[in-house]
Amino acid sequence: MEGAFDKGDTVSKPAIITVAITGALPRKKDTPAVPVTPAEQIESTHQAFEAGASLVHVHVRAEDESPSSDPELFARVQEGIRKHCPGMIIQFSTGGRGRDQSARASMLHLRPDMASLATGSVNFPASIYENPPDFVEGLAASMLEHGIKPEIEVFDLAMLYNAAKLAKKGLIRGPLHVQFVLGIDNAMPARRSVFDFLRAELAQVLPDATWVAAGTGRFQWEVNRWCLETGGHVRT
């Protein structure tokens, strides 16, 4: 895994293009094209892979389309992507929307290349995205045990410094990869000033880290443009 990420301050190396299949929220009734079964997710990932994506962020869904933590579903998606998309980096979501806190780490024994790790709590549109300190440390320890590289998810500023503290404690191993998530209502807004400050602070507290920023919904393209302008990776 090391070496798969170039430093954010060089633009000569190709950027990692991440594809996030399915996500936590959209349903077939809203977005008929959203892949929800493992077979649909594998095919959708394959298309993105052929179009140049090199990292896939995986959420899985139960039969009623609700967000799931079922290791069986993660295993099937992982197996299919490994077979159809050789060399693609597979990242499992440990995200919280609609998922039970106790189950969010239940698929890490499958040893994906990466898994997401939100290093703090913040308000989301209608509730708290709950990642209490001991839970974060438990997720980090499980990733370390299974040789999984975390993708640090920064939904609010404190999470950046929390990641640096985890690294200092030896609970996560560098060089880290950090994603700034901008534009979720009640969390950090998609403001250029915020984006610039996050990059400046990251360079101070985690100088070896690579980074990407994701704008949600209507902010997606603008934030992608900021990333390309400043040498970050790109998420679609």
What residues make contact with Zn ion under the rule CB under 5 A? 46, 84, 93, 95
On the CB side of 112, how many CA atoms lie within 13 Å of its CA?
30
119 to 148: interface string for a copy of itself, x by CB under 8 A: -xxxx-xxxx-xxxxx-x------------
Copy the structure tokens of residue 129.
């995205």
Contact of residue 122 among Zn ion, a copy of itself, none (CB under 5-8 Å per partner type): a copy of itself
Copy the structure tokens of residue 179.
């994603």
DSSP-derived pairing of the beta strands 67-68 and 60-61 = antiparallel
Determine contact, residues 61/36, Cβ cutoff 8 Å.
Answer: yes
**Using CA of residue 5, residue 8, residue 12, residue 15, what is the dihedral sign?**
positive
Contact of residue 95 among Zn ion, a copy of itself, none (CB under 5-8 Å per partner type): Zn ion
State which residue, 108 or 188, has the beta carbon closest to a copy of itself. 188
Residue 144, H or E segment: helix 133-145
158 to 177: interface string for a copy of itself, x by CB under 8 A: x--xx---------------
In this chain, which residue has its C-beta nearest to Zn ion?
A: 46
Site of interaction with a copy of itself (CB under 8 A) = 120-123, 125-128, 130-134, 136, 155-158, 161-162, 186-189, 191, 193-194, 197, 200-201, 204
